[in-house]
């Protein structure tokens, strides 16, 4: 075997951490000064690697490590313990939020669809005016076709299809009922009310001097401080 071969064996023996050498390698070392020098250098190198790596990982652990970890764990645990009994409240709050969001979105979609202007947009037939306010959910379903009518949260109302339906804002509902009641009494006035008002023209402004006769000016009496 060449010196190169023996050197490979030497390195393998040192890398595997064996403390003994094979008989043939040991014999070669006794005979070859060059390989002996190489071996000694490698022993030194592996020793240095081991000691440096050991020093690298056996650094003193900071005393603050465990207290800091415990404090962080307590931080993690604390909210869990506080929140657990309040899940009912959270669920109710979430439900209220969802309902209000739905209401806000519905109002927005109604506004977008131009349905909030129902009193002016609706065509009124004086003969058939039975008013029937739709429930909000049903109104939303009418506006949004993606909503499934079979949704459990919706209130279903069976109504004849020939009855006209009017969508009005909640706050205008009462006024609209009164308006509808008035139609049967005075249809002409009601029809006139639904027509848009003529635009107002700006009239020229006249400026004139104001003359006041018999105007008497009295000075204010000084106060004690003055």
Partner 1 sequence: MRELVLTQPGRVLVGPSERESESCRSHGEFEERLAECGPLAFRVAYGVLRNAADAEDVAQEALLKAYRNFGRLREPARFRGWLVRIAFRMALDRWRSAKRREKRETQWEPTKQRSSEPTVEELAVSSEFQERLERAMEELPEKFRLVLLLAAIEGYTLEEVSGMLGIPMGTVKSRLFFARKQLAEKLR
Alpha-carbon distance of 106 to 140, in angstroms, equals 6
C-beta closer to partner 1: residue 42 or 194: 42
Instruction: Pick the stretch among 14-22, 134-142, 172-180, 212-220 that binds partner 1 (CB under 8 A).
Output: 14-22
Q: Contacts with partner 1: how many residues (CB under 8 A)?
A: 36
x/- track of binding to partner 1 for residues 36-75 (CB under 8 A): -----xx-xxxxxxx-xxx-xxxx-xx-xxx-xxx-xx--
Instruction: Pick the stretch among 6-14, 94-102, 191-199, 212-220 that binds partner 1 (CB under 8 A).
Output: 6-14
In the bound complex, what is the minimum distance in angstroms from residue 34's beta carbon to partner 1? Answer: 14
C-beta closer to partner 1: residue 68 or 189: 68
User: Is residue 217 part of the contact set for partner 1 (CB under 8 A)?
Assistant: no
The DSSP-derived string for the chain is --HHHHHHHHHHHHHTT-SS--HHHHHHHHH-HHHHHHHHHHHHHHHHHHHHHHHHH-PPPPTTHHHHHHHHHHHHHHHHHHHGGGHHHHHHHHHHHHHHHHHHHHHHHHHHTTGGGHHHH----SS-----BPPHHHHHHHH-TTS-TT-TTSPP----TTS--B---GGGHHHHHHHHHHHHH-HHHHHHHHSPPPPPPPPPPP------TT----PPPP-S--
Instruction: Pick the stretch among 8-16, 119-127, 136-144, 180-188 that binds partner 1 (CB under 8 A).
Output: 8-16
User: Is residue 78 part of the contact set for partner 1 (CB under 8 A)?
Assistant: no
Counting Cα atoms < 13 Å in the Cβ hemisphere of 220 gives 4
User: Is residue 197 part of the contact set for partner 1 (CB under 8 A)?
Assistant: no
C-beta closer to partner 1: residue 86 or 191: 86
> Can you give the binding site for partner 1, defined by CB under 8 A?
11-12, 14-17, 41-42, 44-50, 52-54, 56-59, 61-62, 64-66, 68-70, 72-73, 76-77, 80, 84
């Amino acid at each position: 075997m060449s010196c190169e071969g023996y050197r490979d064996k030497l390195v393998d023996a040192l890398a595997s951490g064996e403390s003994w050498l094979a008989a043939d390698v040991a014999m070669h070392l006794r005979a070859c000064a060059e390989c002996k020098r190489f071996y000694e250098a490698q022993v030194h190198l592996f020793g240095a690697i081991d000691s440096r790596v050991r020093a690298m990982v056996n650094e003193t652990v900071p005393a603050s490590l465990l207290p800091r970890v415990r404090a962080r764990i307590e931080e993690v645990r604390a909210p869990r313990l506080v929140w657990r009994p309040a899940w009912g409240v959270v669920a109710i709050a979430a439900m209220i939020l969802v309902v209000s969001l739905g209401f806000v979105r519905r109002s927005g979609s109604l506004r977008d669809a131009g349905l909030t202007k129902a009193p002016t947009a609706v065509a009124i037939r004086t003969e058939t005016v039975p008013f029937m306010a739709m429930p909000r959910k049903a109104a939303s379903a009418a506006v949004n076709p993606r909503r499934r009518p079979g949704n459990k949260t919706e209130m279903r109302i069976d109504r004849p299809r020939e009855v006209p339906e009017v969508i009005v804002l909640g706050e205008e509902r009462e006024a609209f009922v009164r308006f509808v009641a008035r139609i049967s009494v005075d249809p002409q006035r009601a029809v006139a009310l639904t027509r848009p008002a003529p635009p107002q023209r700006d009239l020229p402004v006249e400026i004139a001097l104001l003359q006041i006769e018999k105007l008497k000016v009295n000075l204010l009496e000084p106060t004690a401080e003055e």
